[in-house]
């Protein structure tokens, strides 16, 4: 196989199946960016966050298949607004320990009070699983593309 025909074979491979590998890489990178963003947000809450006494205004739980999601809505005072609203998905035990109209500690960012949490540990829940999945998608996509190109260029 000549160099020109090997290049043509590699291009044909990328046109036919290469989009799958590009999609895997893009999904992995997107997931990685999302996970890093969640981690940075949690770090900001730890470094810059201010605690406030809030009130649980609503509790809701819903099922999606075999997964149950628990959500708390709350209000809390800030220097600029005595009724700042927040909502967060929380763990089951934390959810069941709360009651509506009860006091709750809310951590918020003074620079952006719309960013608040009542269960800070839940912000980075699954971080390492997400990062490993992200890495797997990127490596799988890159590895698949490399092997496909090598096979497409191989003589015979």
* Residue 28 confidence (pLDDT): 93
Percent of the chain at pLDDT > 70 equals: 86
Domains held by the chain: number? 1
52 pLDDT more than 90: yes
Q: What is the CATH number of the domain that holds 76?
A: 2.40.50.660
Reported confidence tier of residue 4, pLDDT bands at 50, 70, 90 = low
Mean pLDDT, residues 94-122 taken together: 92
Reported confidence tier of residue 5, pLDDT bands at 50, 70, 90 = low
2 pLDDT more than 60: no
What count of other Cβ atoms lies within 10 Å of the Cβ of residue 106? 25
Distance CA 24, CA 31 (A): 11
Task: With CA atoms as reference, report the closest residue to 149 among 28, 1, 6, 23.
Answer: 6
Between 127 and 37, the more confident residue is 37
Could you tell me the pTM of the whole model?
0.68
Q: Could you tell me the residue range of the domain that residue 125 belongs to?
A: 3-153
Distance CA 156, CA 9 (A): 11
Question: What tens digit of pLDDT does each residue of 6-21 get?
Answer: 566 656 655 667 788 8
Q: 156, 9 in Cβ contact below 8 A? A: no
């Amino acid at each position: 196989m000549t160099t020109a025909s090997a290049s043509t074979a590699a291009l044909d491979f990328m046109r036919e199946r290469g989009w799958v590998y590009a999609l895997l890489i893009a999904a992995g990178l997107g997931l990685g960016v999302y996970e890093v963003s969640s981690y940075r947000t949690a770090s900001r809450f730890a470094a810059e966050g201010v605690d406030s006494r809030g009130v649980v205004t609503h509790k809701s739980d819903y099922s999606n298949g075999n997964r149950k999601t628990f959500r708390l809505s709350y209000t809390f005072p800030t220097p600029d607004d005595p009724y700042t609203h927040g909502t967060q998905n929380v763990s089951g035990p934390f959810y069941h320990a709360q009651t509506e109209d009860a006091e709750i500690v809310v951590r918020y960012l003074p620079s952006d009070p719309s960013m608040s949490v009542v269960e800070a540990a839940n912000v980075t829940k699954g971080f390492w699983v997400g990062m490993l999945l992200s890495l797997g998608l990127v490596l799988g996509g890159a590895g698949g593309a490399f092997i496909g190109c090598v096979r497409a260029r191989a003589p015979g």
